Structure 1
Amino acid sequence: MNNEQHEIKRVTVVGTGVIGNGWISRFLSQGYEVTATDPAEGAEQRMRQAVDNAWPALERLGLGEGASRDNLHFEPNLEKAVAEADLIQENAPEREDLKRQLLAEIDCAAKPDAIIASSTSGYMPSTLQENCTKHPERLIVAHPFNPVYLIPLVELVGGKKTDQAIIRKAQSFYESVNMKPLIVRTEIEGHISDRLMEAIWREALHLVNDGVATTEEVDASIVYGPGLRWALMGPFLTLHLAGGEQGMRHMLEQFGPALKLPWTKLAAPELTEDLTEKVVEGCEQQTVGHSIAELEQRRDHFLIELVQLLEKYWPAANLNGRI
Structure 2
Amino acid sequence: MSAPVRTVAVVGTGVIGASWAAHFLGRGLDVVATDPAAGAEERLRADVAAHWPTISRLGLVPGASPERLTFTTDVAAAAAGADFVQENGPERPEVKHRLFAVLDAAARPDVVLASSSSGLLPSVIAQGCPAHPERVVVGHPFHPPHLIPLVEVVPGERTSEEAVERAMAFYTAAGKRPIRLRHELPGHVANRLQAALWREAYSLVDRGVASVADIDTAISQGPGLRWAVLGPFANQHLSGGAGGIAHVLEHLGPPTEAWWRDLGDPTLTPELVAKLVDGVAAELGGVTTDELAARRDAVLHTLLVAKARTDLP
TM-score normalised by L of structure 2: 0.95
TM-aligned CA distance change 1:98 to 1:60, over 3 Å: same
Q: 2-side partners of 1:181 and 1:149: how far apart?
A: 14
CA deviation vs aligned residue, 1:197-217 (integer Å, no higher than 9, x gap): 110111111111222222211
Separation in structure 2 between the aligned mates of residue 42 and residue 219 of structure 1, nearest angstrom: 37
User: 1:38 offset after TM fit, Å?
Assistant: 0.9
**Which secondary structure state, in structure 2, belongs to the residue aligned with residue 303 of structure 1?**
helix
- The match for 1:27 among 12, 24, 29 is 24
Number of the residue aligned with 1:157? 154
Provide the residue aligned with 2:300 in structure 1.
303
Looking at structure 2, the residues matched to 162 and 270 of structure 1 have their Cα atoms a distance apart, in angstroms, of 36
Aligned counterpart in structure 1 of residue 190 of structure 2, from 185, 189, 193: 193
Equivalent AA in structure 1 for residue 88 of structure 2: N
1:225 to 219, 222, 225: 222
Deviation at 1:263, TM superposition (A): 2.8
Could you tell me which amino acid in structure 2 is paired with residue 104 of structure 1?
Answer: A
Aligned to 2:50: 53
Distance in 1, matches of 2:305 and 2:152, equals 21
Pairing of 1:127-166 with structure 2 (within 5 A): 127-166=124-163
Q: Structure 1: state its 5+ residue gaps.
A: 318-323
Q: Kindly state the Cα deviation for residue 6 of structure 1 after the two structures are TM-superposed.
A: 6.1
1:207 corresponds to 2:207:
no
The aligned residue for residue 277 of structure 1 is: 274
Corresponding residue of 1:105 = 102
Counterpart CA distance in 1 for 2:40 and 2:128 is: 27
Distance 1:251 1:85 in 2: 49
Structure 2: state its 5+ residue gaps.
Answer: none
TM-score by length of 1: 0.92
Q: What CA distance in whole angstroms lies between the structure 1 residues aligned with 2:102 and 2:281? A: 41
Equivalent residue, structure 2, for 1:123: 120
Q: Please state how far the C-alpha of 1:290 moved relative to its aligned partner.
A: 2.4
The alignment partner of 1:140 has SS state of strand
**In the alignment, residue 262 of structure 2 is paired with which amino acid?**
W
1:68 maps to 65
* CA offsets 1:221-245 (integer angstroms, 9 cap, x no match): 0011111111122111111122221
Q: In the alignment, is the contact (CA less than 8 A) between 1:6 and 1:169 conserved in 2?
A: no
Deviation at 1:5, TM superposition (A): 9.2
Distance in 2, matches of 1:41 and 1:59, equals: 29
Q: Return the letter of the residue paired with 2:59.
A: G
SS of 2:188's equivalent? coil
Alpha-carbon distance change, 42 to 111 in structure 1, aligned in 2, over 3 angstroms? same
Residues 11, 17 of structure 2: 8 Å contact kept: yes
Q: Matches of 1:107 and 1:15 in 2, distance apart?
A: 16
Change in CA separation of 1:5 and 1:99 when aligned onto 2, cut-off 3 Å: closer
Percent of residue pairs bearing the same amino acid type? 44
C-alpha distance in 1, partners of 2:131/2:58? 40
2:262 paired residue number: 263
What is the CA–CA distance in structure 1 between the aligned matches of 2:271 and 2:221, rounded to whole Å?
A: 28
Q: Are the equivalent residues in 2 in contact too, given 1:6–1:173 (CA < 8 A)?
A: no
Q: Is the 8 A contact 2:2 2:110 kept in 1?
A: no
Query: Match for 1:18: what amino acid?
Result: V
**Aligned-pair distance for 1:259?**
2.8
SS at match of 2:309: helix
SS in 1 for 2:4: coil
Tell me, yes or no, if structure 1 residue 168 matches structure 2 residue 168.
Answer: no
Distance change >3 Å, CA 200–CA 316, structure 1 → 2: closer
| Cα distance in 2 for residues equivalent to 1:260 and 1:66 | 53
CA drift of 1:94 comes to: 1.4
Distance 1:106 1:283 in 2: 40
Residue 35 of structure 2 corresponds to residue 38 of structure 1: yes
Size of the aligned set, in residue pairs, is 311
Write the distance in 2 (CA, Å) between the matches of 1:29 and 1:58: 6
> Helix, strand or coil: the match of 2:128?
coil
For the 8 Å contact 2:121–2:186, the answer to whether it is kept is: yes
Match of 2:32, SS state, is strand
Identify if the C-alpha distance between structure 1 residues 5 and 79 changes in structure 2 by more than 3 Å, giving closer, same or farther: closer
Matching of residues 7-26 of structure 1 within 5 Å: 7-26=4-23
Give the RMSD, CA atoms, in angstroms: 1.6
Q: Is the 8 A contact 2:229 2:312 kept in 1?
A: no
The answer for the alignment partner of 1:235 in structure 2 is 232
Query: SS state of the match for residue 130, structure 1?
Result: helix
Structure 1's consecutive aligned runs of 4 or more residues displaced over 3 angstroms after TM superposition are none
